[in-house]
Amino acid sequence: MAKKTKKVSAQKQAIEQITSILDKMSDRLVSLSNRVTAVGNESAQTSDKVNAFLGRERIAHAKVQDAYSAARGQDEINRETTKSLYTLRDHTKESFENVASDVRSILQTAKRAAERIEQVENQNASLLSTIKILEGQVKIANDNVARVRDIAAERIKAIEERAKYYEEKLDATHALITSLFVGGIYNIKGKDSFGEFTYIHPLDLGELINKLSASEFVTYSGSGNSSQTTVTIGKTRYKQSPYIPRRPGQHKIV
């Protein structure tokens, strides 16, 4: 039972560890989703910048057209137009540089997101491998418990069958002794290393001992076990047995 409790406890600890790992993975996936959302927001901002740049480009293009029209009639306007063109060129270059910087930032963020996604996928693969190992260990533990249960059931069945066998033997022996007494055979004999003896009910033996006079005595022989000890009263050796039917007042000291 102690081993079974330890195995069940180990299984419970393994399940709790898996639950903790899954909770951590869930938190990491939520964090990654938030980062991807942030990247999307940055992309939207960059798109707004590009649209603003295109708007400024359209405005600049219109200004160029106006400048070229005015330059046809006025040199001063041509100089101003030239100056405006240079300014527009610088602004355009700066805008392109800003867009390029934003694009590089977006690409870097997307790269980091891809690397993070790859890390999460690797962690998921490792987690799945760990879960498979734990499932294998749980299956082995369940198989061992089932084997122990089967062995215990077989042994209990064998013990029950053996107990039933001895009970049947005991009942048969008692029935045989009773039938012998009913049939009129009262003196059932036995023999040990000290010689022959007669079986007697313990209460009948006590009755005989109580009939002894002060000059008569009892001799005990055999081991310290009461079931192996014989009692000599007069010239007869007795061995007590609870399976011998009682014969109150019928035993005599010889």
C-beta separation of 4 from 145 below 8 A: yes
In the numeric block, which tokens belong to residue 132?
């498979």
Q: Is residue 170, in this structure, part of any structural domain at all?
A: no
Burial class (CB in 10 A: 0-12, 13-18, 19+), 237: buried
The reported pLDDT for the residue numbered 5 is 66
99 & 218 share domain? no
Domain range enclosing 78: 2-155
77 & 32 share domain? yes
CATH of the domain at 94: 1.10.287
DSSP bridge partners of 237: 232
In the numeric block, which tokens belong to residue 77?
């306007």
Buried residues in 2-19 as b, exposed as e (16+ CB within 10 A):
eeeeebeeeeeebeeeee
- In the listed set 105, 139, 155, which residue is the last one of a domain according to the structure? 155
26 & 140 share domain? yes
Please state, in angstroms and rounded to a whole number, the distance separating the CA atoms of residues 210 and 248. Answer: 13
Q: How many residues does the chain have?
A: 254
Q: Is residue 114, in this structure, part of any structural domain at all?
A: yes
Q: Is residue 179, in this structure, part of any structural domain at all?
A: no
Supply the angle between the helices 2-71 and 75-182 in degrees, to the nearest 10.
170
217 & 113 share domain? no
Q: Is residue 176, in this structure, part of any structural domain at all?
A: no
88 & 17 share domain? yes
The reported pLDDT for the residue numbered 71 is 57
Q: Is residue 98, in this structure, part of any structural domain at all?
A: yes
Distance, CA of 84 to chain centre: 80
108 & 148 share domain? yes
Q: Is residue 111, in this structure, part of any structural domain at all?
A: yes
151 & 70 share domain? yes
137 & 52 share domain? yes
- Which of 46, 59, 20 lies closest to 98, judged by CA? 46
The reported pLDDT for the residue numbered 156 is 87
The reported pLDDT for the residue numbered 22 is 76
Q: What is the pTM of this model?
A: 0.31
241 & 139 share domain? no
Q: Is residue 100, in this structure, part of any structural domain at all?
A: yes
151 & 196 share domain? no
* HSE-CB of 26 using CA atoms within 13 angstroms: 6
225 & 133 share domain? no
In the numeric block, which tokens belong to residue 79?
């100089």
Q: Position of tokens 């076990």?
A: 225
Number of domains in the chain: 2
C-beta separation of 216 from 234 below 8 A: yes
In the numeric block, which tokens belong to residue 53?
């740049």
Buried residues in 83-107 as b, exposed as e (16+ CB within 10 A):
ebeeebeeeeeebeeeeeebeeeee
94 & 195 share domain? no
- In the chain (254 residues long), the average pLDDT of successive 10-residue segments reads 62 76 77 77 73 76 68 71 81 77 82 84 82 85 85 85 71 61 62 83 86 74 64 84 79 73
Residue 184 φ/ψ region, left for φ over 0, alpha for ψ in the -120 to 50 degree band, beta for the rest: left
